[in-house]
Amino acid sequence: MRSFVFVALAVAWRGVHNAFTNPAILLPSLLFPLFFFTAFAGGLSRVSDVPGFDYPAGYTAFQFVFVFLQSAAFGGVFTGFAIARDFESGFARRLLLAAPRRTGIVAGYALVALVRWAATASVVTVVALLAGMDVLGDPAELAALVVLGLLVNVAAVLWAAGVAMRFRTLQAGPLMQVPVFLTLFLAPVYVPLALLDGWIHAIATVNPATFLLEAGRGLVAGEPVEVAAAFAVAFAAVALFTVWALRGLKSAESAG
Amino acid sequence: MQDEHGIQAEGLAREFKGGIRAVDGIDLQVAPGEIYGFLGPNGAGKSTTVHMLTTLLPPTAGTARVAGFDVVREGAQVRAAIGAALQEAALDPLLTGREHLRLQTALHGMGKAERKRRGEALLERVGLTQAADRKVQTYSGGMKRRLDLALALVHEPSILFLDEPTTGLDPQSRNALWTEVARLARDEGVTVFLTTQYLEEADVLADRVGIIDHGRLVAEGTPAALKAEIGRPSVEAIPADPSERDAVARTLERFGRPVPGSPKGVAVRLDGGEEALADVVRALDAEGLHLAHLQLHAPTLDDVFLAKTGRSLEGAGDELDTEAEPEPVPA
| pLDDT tens digit sequence for B133-190 | 999 999 988 899 899 999 999 999 999 999 988 887 888 888 888 888 999 999 999 9
Cβ contact B90–A17 (<8 Å): no
Spatial distance between the Cα atoms of B86 and B72, rounded to a whole number of angstroms: 19
What pLDDT, on the 0 to 100 scale, is given for residue B314? 53
Element (H, E) at B298: none
* Local confidence band at B327 (pLDDT 50, 70, 90 cut-offs): very low
Give the minimum alpha-carbon distance from A119 to chain B in angstroms, rounded to a whole number: 21
| 3-state SS, residue B108 | coil
Min Cα distance B106 → chain A (Å) is: 5
3-class SS of residue A225: coil
Distance separating the N- and C-terminal Cα atoms of chain B: 42
Q: What is the pLDDT of residue B70?
A: 96
Candidates A94, A103, A165, partner chain B, best to mutate (most B CBs within 10 A): A94
Task: Provide ipTM, 2 decimals.
Answer: 0.89
Inform me whether the pLDDT recorded for B330 exceeds 80: no
- Selected for mutation to probe chain B from A97, A101, A168, A250 (highest B CB count within 10 Å) is A97
Give the minimum alpha-carbon distance from B314 to chain A in angstroms, rounded to a whole number: 25
Spatial neighbors of B249 by CB under 8 A, at least 6 apart, are B258, B266
Nearest to A32 by CA among A59, A70, A60: A70
DSSP summary character for residue B243 = G
Binary contact (A95, B107; C-beta < 8 A): yes
pLDDT tens, residue by residue, B2-59? 567 899 999 999 998 888 899 999 999 999 999 999 988 888 899 999 999 999 999 9
pLDDT at B2: 55
What 8-state DSSP symbol labels residue B219?
E
Query: Does residue B21 sit in helix, strand or coil?
Result: strand
Measure the CA–CA gap between A166 and A176, rounded to whole angstroms. Answer: 11
In this prediction, residue A157 carries a pLDDT of 97
Of chain A, the end-to-end C-alpha distance in Å amounts to 24
CA-based nearest distance B78→chain A, Å: 9
Alpha carbon distance A11, A1 (integer Å)? 16
Interface of A with B (CB under 8 A): 2-3, 6-7, 9-11, 13-14, 17-18, 21-22, 89-101, 253-256
Nearest C-alpha in A relative to B99: A14
- Structural domain span for residue A124: 2-255
How many separate domains does chain A show?
1
Can you tell me the distance from the alpha carbon of A142 to that of A132, in angstroms, rounded to the nearest whole number?
17
Percentage with pLDDT > 90 across chain B: 50
DSSP B283-320: HHHHTT--EEEEEEE---HHHHHHHHHSSPPTTHHHHH
Decide if A93 and B104 are in contact by the 8 Å CB cutoff.
no
Are the C-beta atoms of residues B125 and B150 closer than 8 Å to each other?
yes
A124-166 per-position pLDDT tens digit: 999 999 988 999 999 999 999 999 999 999 999 999 999 999 9
| Residues on chain A touching B136 (C-beta within 8 angstroms) | none
CA distance A138 to chain B (A): 41
Q: Given an 8 Å threshold on Cβ–Cβ distance, is A7 in contact with B107?
A: yes
Phi, psi of A182 (to 5 degrees): -65, -45
For residues B17 and B40, what is the distance between their CA atoms, to the nearest angstrom?
Answer: 23
The pLDDT > 90 percentage for chain A reads: 75
- Is B106's CB within 8 Å of A9's CB? yes
